[in-house]
């Protein structure tokens, strides 16, 4: 497989058609080598339009979803980011290239070790990787300019909203299969939030997501 041709095809055939046109984001997809973060058993799928399996039943988001979230967040170089669900560290690396610092939280020790190695091997240094359950946020380092959730959540925890700075943005996929929506939530004031639906999708749930009660009283 010609790696660079495959990367070019991914960008032109999957990502641009999804309205990802920001030249900085497109350039970053060339700079951060996705194949370096994909488990060896799935290298051939590095540029495929699928969720790539990870150890422990987790998965990498499809490339077009990662790129679209990155574009719509509009990260600035001075901003601090909280990522919930490190996975293999690829989205972490993309965020780190755009921001000042990324705090990333992973509940699986095996995945954290994989991501730590991937980030180190690819020279990504402005990341603090934490082992823990970040499904309801992470108080260390809060409030953040940007929060990104790397898997879907059935409902949005209030804690995530509280950990955003005023002016901060939260990218999250909310819902249950097969009906989920990617949302960009901007904190407009102490108690004010603006929610924009970006696209409809269906992705794997965050491993540590809190299930809503089946019974309402």
Domains in the chain with CATH codes: 3-201 (3.40.50.150)
With tokens 């095809």, the residue in question is 9
pLDDT of amino acid 209? 79
Cα-flanking dihedrals φ and ψ of residue 186, to 5°? -110, 130
Closest CA to 128 of 168, 166, 89: 89
> What are the φ/ψ torsions at residue 57 (nearest 5 degrees)?
85, 5
CA distance 86 to 188: 27
3 state DSSP class of 163: coil
- Residue 88: the pLDDT is 98
Q: Are strands 164-176 and 179-187 parallel, antiparallel or unpaired?
A: antiparallel
At residue 152, the pLDDT reads 96
Q: How far is 94 from 155, CA to CA, in rounded Å?
A: 26
pLDDT in tens, the chain (217 residues): 699 999 999 999 999 999 999 999 999 999 999 999 999 999 999 999 999 999 999 999 999 999 999 999 999 999 999 999 999 999 999 999 999 999 999 999 999 999 999 999 999 999 999 999 999 999 999 999 999 999 999 999 999 999 999 999 999 999 998 999 999 999 999 999 999 999 999 999 998 776 655 434 3
pLDDT, position 1: 64
pLDDT of residue 211: 66
Burial class (CB in 10 A: 0-12, 13-18, 19+), 26: middle
Residues 6+ apart with CB under 8 A from 23: none
């Amino acid at each position: 497989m010609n790696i660079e041709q495959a990367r070019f095809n991914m960008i032109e055939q999957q990502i641009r058609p999804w309205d990802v046109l920001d030249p900085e984001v497109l350039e970053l997809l060339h700079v951060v080598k996705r194949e370096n973060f994909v488990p060896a058993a799935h290298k051939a799928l590095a540029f495929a339009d699928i969720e790539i399996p990870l150890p422990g039943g987790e998965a990498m988001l499809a490339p077009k979803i990662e790129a679209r979230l990155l574009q719509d967040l509009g990260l600035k170089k001075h901003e601090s980011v909280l990522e919930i669900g490190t996975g293999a560290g690829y989205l972490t690396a993309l965020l780190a290239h755009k921001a000042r610092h990324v705090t990333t939280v992973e509940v699986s020790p095996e995945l954290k070790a994989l991501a730590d190695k991937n980030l180190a091997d690819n020279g990504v240094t402005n990341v603090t990787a934490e082992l823990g359950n970040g499904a309801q946020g992470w108080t260390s380092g809060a409030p953040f300019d940007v929060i990104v959730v790397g898997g879907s959540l059935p409902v949005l925890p209030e804690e995530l909203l509280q950990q955003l700075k005023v002016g901060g943005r939260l990218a999250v996929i909310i819902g249950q299969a097969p009906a989920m929506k990617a949302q960009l939530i901007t904190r407009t004031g102490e108690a004010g939030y603006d929610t924009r639906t970006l696209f409809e999708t269906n992705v794997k749930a965050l491993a540590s997501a809190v299930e809503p009660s089946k019974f309402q009283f």
